[in-house]
Amino acid sequence: MNSDKIPLMESFYTIQGEGANSGMPAYFIRLAGCDVGCHWCDVKESWDVKKHTVVSIESIVEEALKFNPANSVITGGEPLMYNLDGITQQLKKNGIKTFLETSGAYPLTGEWDWICLSPKKFKPALPEFYLNADELKIIIYNKHDFKFADACLKLFQGSNKNHKGRNLFLQPEWSRRKEILPAIIDFVKENPHWRISLQAHKFMNVP
């Protein structure tokens, strides 16, 4: 695929609802395509790249500038299936900070002000992400996911020199939030280095 064009599922100006930057206004750029295959994914319509339009980086940035955003979030799908050097350079050139949400399954490209690593059991994150991520966010679907969270934490703590234990999040999978949240609360009370992320944008009814 031409490096100055990427498959876009949707883009919109909203409020970040998850993780360390929850409550922050940001322009979201959701790219199409993902082969990580989380069965609980709430944007499965993003998986099939053929169903979405390939758009020029220039037009994506032009649309973003209409909202004069201070921040942008590039997400997916799995955004790092594509080289993101060009789009992040253009966003930063226009004074827009760049935030990445990724599973870490593909090599890191792009220039980033913040990297949120949300690794998945189905396709493990590459070691470079544990070294470079600013935030570790684990989705909890069932109680077995707590063991996965601990395993990811060991990798994060063992390789990330800038890690200070402040940006570690457990987030209930939305469809099971009522069932799993009590277990997350108990786990965080016993392991206070973790914090809880609640997808506040869904409670606020914004994209």
CA gap 13, 72 in Å, rounded: 9
Please give the average per-residue pLDDT across 55-79, as a whole number.
Answer: 97
- 169 three-state secondary structure: strand
Picking from 1, 5, 8, the residue whose alpha carbon sits closest to that of residue 86 is 5
The pLDDT score that the predictor gives to residue 48 is 85
CB count within 10 Å of CB 10 equals 14
Residue pLDDT, tens place only, 76-133: 999 999 999 999 999 999 999 999 999 999 999 999 999 999 999 989 999 999 999 9
Q: Are the C-beta atoms of 5 and 184 separated by less than 8 Å?
A: no
CA gap 151, 202 in Å, rounded: 29
The pLDDT score that the predictor gives to residue 61 is 98
Kind and range of the H or E run holding 11: strand 5-15
The pLDDT score that the predictor gives to residue 19 is 95
Picking from 78, 84, 82, the residue whose alpha carbon sits closest to that of residue 38 is 78
At 30, the amino acid letter reads: R
The pLDDT score that the predictor gives to residue 122 is 85
More confidently predicted of 153 and 165: 153
CA gap 127, 124 in Å, rounded: 9
Angle, CA 95 vertex, CA 91 and CA 100 arms, to 5° = 45
Residue 170 pLDDT > 70? yes
Instruction: Show the domains of the chain with their CATH numbers.
Output: 5-204 (3.20.20.70)
Residue pLDDT, tens place only, 2-57: 569 999 999 999 999 999 999 999 999 999 999 888 877 878 788 888 889 999 99
Take residue 91 and report the two structure tokens written for it: 């966003």
pTM given for the model:
0.93
Q: Are the C-beta atoms of 25 and 13 separated by less than 8 Å?
A: yes
